[in-house]
Structure 1
Amino acid sequence: MFKGMLNILFPKYCPGCDLALNEPKILLCLNCRNALPLTHYHLHNNQSIVDKFYGILPLDCGTALLHYHKKGLAQKLIHALKYQGRKEIGQWLGHWLGDELRSIDGFGDICAVVPVPMHPAKLRLRGYNQAAIFGKALANAMDIPFLERLMLQTQMRHTQAKQGRWERWSKKNTFTMNPQYFAFIKALALGLQHQESSSKNHRRLKLLLVDDVITTGATIEACGGVLTRELGATLSCASIAIA
């Protein structure tokens, strides 16, 4: 009864169309749920994201759950996740994608999930990293470790869509490895490489780098470059949406 009164006094709204939702556990109304612009990249072996980084960053696999369009449903969901405290949206989408990826060739043998880090100043202001919310749920669904603090963002970055290519390139040193975790992960990577060289069972450190939206690709390029260079890891990436 008390929960029912709360729902009447403080109803939850669908982030896609602002329709009041009767059930607190429902995140989207039925119309918006059916209208989600799903990419199905990973279900149909679509290599669009891998091709996007061809010659820039070697990716084993890449996927995004949704297509991102200006003023579209994916943009509304991500806006609610980032700026309205709707963390449950990132959790829901992360579990959804993780459930699908765990049985997909190329994703099923990934060792761990790494989120694109957020600068400490922005993290204090917002209170959470939306890429980490999404990535943790994805990792839980895939039943693999989530390395939230493996990377650090040492310089503030602005919205990439408003930057020229040169300015984005000049910020390529924005990300670095966290020294508290680097030695352990490096030792793990070297151990897997040693097993690979002495066994017919090929095993390497395979990481899944996750972000909320892939736009220009500059963030994935910068973070992924650090992971492949410092750890010699095989890299894949996933995001909530791709523009």
Structure 2
Amino acid sequence: MEVSSNTPAVVTGGASGLGEATARALAAKGAKVAIFDLQEEKGKKVAEEIGGVFCECNVTEEASVDAAFARAREAHGQERILVNCAGVGNAIKTAKRDRQTGEISHFPLDAFNWVIQINLVGTFRCIAKSAAGMMTLDPLSEDGDRGAIVNTASVAGEDGQIGQAAYSASKGGVIGMTLPIARDLMGEGIRVNTILPGIFNTPLMNAAPPQVKEALAASVPFPKRLGNPEEYARLAMCMIETGYFNGEDVRLDGGIRMAPR
């Protein structure tokens, strides 16, 4: 599907990082982008700069997602593109022993559920609602192309590190549901693909000390640096615009395979 002038698009987590880069890449091709995010100040700023619209959205709440889609569609019409970048993470061992006191504790289930609800259930919620809307559209081509969906998983979904049980489970779930969803929607001309980013230079990573970033960059086989959000955006655009790209989970990681810690 060619992204052209006035193509409606939605990017969750579009106020910063991978989502912001993708929103800007879409807008550069002429798309009308709705940014779904909880960061109002940042989201409004990006939306203003790209000629889009900011829609406050909590992907864990049904009413919030419905309201965001309603606002986006009122502003730009039914979206043909959805890119899911909203996500969170934490680092807690499943069970651990305090080496000084001997006290044993386990991963709080509410903290585990929080990650699952945002990264996995939130992603699916947006996919299902967007796909239902795309099904009302006329096909764009003789192939019957109605729309394209790109999700964000992580290399942690395949080789998660110590403390990443919740994060890896959530991202592994996104990977696992990509092909079934693509199959669910194949008769409607809606394609679904997922990107598995490695270690990227996002706002979260920017907060890390320089020595930490240097060590992480050195662990990448090639090139020995962190990924740039613009590289994620280019792959997302390729998935959107290449009509034969469907049902795929693609690592974007410089060849890294994560060590246990």
TM-score, normalising length: structure 1: 0.35
